[in-house]
Amino acid sequence: MPIKAIIRKIIPERFLQIRSVLHRTRPNAVRVCPICGFEGYFGDFGRPPRIDAQCPTCGSLERHRLFWLWYAENSGSLKEPVLHFAAEKILETRFRSLYTGGGYKTADLFQSADLKLNIEKIDLPDQSQGTVICNHVLEHVDDKKALQELFRVLDSDGVLILSVPIIEGWETTYENSEISLPENRELYFGQNDHVRFYGRDFRDRLSEAGFDFLEVTAEGDDVIKYGLWRGEKFFICKKSA
């Protein structure tokens, strides 16, 4: 009798299936977190799970590490005061230690933050912010209103840092106002409080709001070393001249 047949006779088929799944979902390699310095195996995160996504020490995800790699070399590009919408805890902790004396504030409408602000109608003066950080927020809200408000509160030579979930293979953004139930939004948009999935035309939305921008992309050896998501981007925006 062939060896494989003997193994399947001795070991239940279900066990073999589970072992196969575990083998395919194990971490691929040792990674390095540029935020906390951890070196080892990252955990999975998301639905469906992304392998090698989350640092087990500080909890950083791919987009946090991508941003921090850029920030480590461009920290001087961020002008105070810094306003951080829906602040990621790992980044907030770092920024509070770097920007003191009121130079850094967090903002959120529902969660605990320094300022309770609605990004669609920001209760701050015109041109009052040197830097605004807004990662994975616009897919939750009326992004046209939000971008208008972000443009308004940003200083004339300030910097807006943005990231959103983008499907680069889609020419246009997918949104449907009739999809309103949380379970349907999760199915169509990836999360129960999202209202769209962006396509390549996200760039048009930035331009229409009055921004010029540069793109920072996860690529090359950094993807392997730091456990980044290949091709993921964030945008460094400034007001058009």
Cα–Cα dist 231/61, whole Å: 14
Task: Please check whether residue 160 lies inside any domain of the structure.
Answer: yes
pLDDT averaged over the chain? 88
Cα–Cα dist 15/152, whole Å: 59
- Show the tokens assigned to 48: 């469906």
Residue 32 to residues 67, 82, 89, 229, Cα–Cα distance (Å): 14, 27, 19, 14
Pairing relation of β-strands 129-135 and 82-85? Answer: parallel
**At 124, which CATH number?**
3.40.50.150
Task: Please check whether residue 6 lies inside any domain of the structure.
Answer: no
Summarize the confidence of residues 68-87 as an average pLDDT: 94
Percent of the chain with pLDDT over 90: 68
Cα–Cα dist 83/127, whole Å: 12
Sign of CA dihedral 45, 47, 51, 53: negative
Task: Please check whether residue 103 lies inside any domain of the structure.
Answer: yes
Go through the chain and tell me how many residues it has. 241
Task: Please check whether residue 85 lies inside any domain of the structure.
Answer: yes
Task: Please check whether residue 182 lies inside any domain of the structure.
Answer: yes
Cα–Cα dist 119/142, whole Å: 9
pTM over 0.95: no
Are 33 and 3 in contact, with CB atoms under 8 Å apart? no
- Any idea which residue has 């105070």 for tokens? 80
Q: Across the strands, what pairs with 31?
A: 40
239 band by pLDDT with thresholds 50, 70 and 90: very high
Domain count for the chain: 1
Task: Please check whether residue 83 lies inside any domain of the structure.
Answer: yes
Whether pLDDT at 113 is above 90: yes
Task: Please check whether residue 50 lies inside any domain of the structure.
Answer: no
Cα–Cα dist 194/165, whole Å: 10
Q: What sections of 79-234 are H helices per DSSP?
A: 89-98, 143-153, 182-189, 202-208, 221-226
Task: Please check whether residue 209 lies inside any domain of the structure.
Answer: yes
> 28 or 207: whose pLDDT is higher?
207
Tell me the residue range of the domain where 178 lies. 60-239
63 band by pLDDT with thresholds 50, 70 and 90: very high
Tens of pLDDT, residue by residue over 148-193, are 999 999 999 999 999 999 999 999 998 888 888 878 777 877 777 7
3-state secondary structure of 184: helix
Distance of CA 140 to the CA centre of its chain: 13
